[in-house]
Amino acid sequence: GAVVSQHPSRVICKSGTSVKIECRSLDFQATTMFWYRQFPKQSLMLMATSNEGSKATYEQGVEKDKFLINHASLTLSTLTVTSAHPEDSSFYICSARGQQGHNQPQHFGDGTRLSIL
């Protein structure tokens, strides 16, 4: 089945550090990738949608200069949390979809737990 790899699985770093999270589709070409944020015991909040070769579309309230998204190839998208602060600590999850069409499921990575000290 479709596999999405997310790396790293856990990051602990000091305030002010920029952190990059990678999301790769291993056995299919991901035309669209999604980045979510999940707070403890809560649902997923969509942060942005990115299509390969295009600028990401950010959801309302998500700072695009804070959360930089790059989707330069059909198998890789990255999320960079710039100058991270403790309030950015969260569980970040990516997903990928191979084709256009609402009935094609998104395949999720295992998530990255980010802890900013």
Partner 1 sequence: GDSVTQMEGPVTLSEEAFLTINCTYTATGYPSLFWYVQYPGEGLQLLLKATKADDKGSNKGFEATYRKETTSFHLEKGSVQVSDSAVYFCALAIQGAQKLVFGQGTRLTINP
Residues near partner 1 (CB under 8 A): 4, 6, 32, 34, 41-44, 46, 49, 93, 95, 97, 102-103, 105-111, 113
- CB–CB of 5/94 below 8 Å? no
Q: Which is nearer to partner 1, 8 or 16 (CB)?
A: 8
Question: Is the previous residue joined to 40 through a cis bond, with omega within 30 degrees of 0?
Answer: no
The minimum distance between CB 91 and partner 1, in angstroms, equals 9
Q: Which is nearer to partner 1, 14 or 61 (CB)?
A: 61
The minimum distance between CB 69 and partner 1, in angstroms, equals 14
Q: Tell whether the torsion through CA atoms of 54, 35, 106 and 22 is positive or negative.
A: positive
Alpha carbons 34 and 114: distance in angstroms, whole number? 17
**68: which strand partners?**
80
Q: Which is nearer to partner 1, 14 or 100 (CB)?
A: 100
Q: Which is nearer to partner 1, 14 or 41 (CB)?
A: 41
The minimum distance between CB 105 and partner 1, in angstroms, equals 5
Q: Which two tokens stand for residue 17?
A: 């550090």
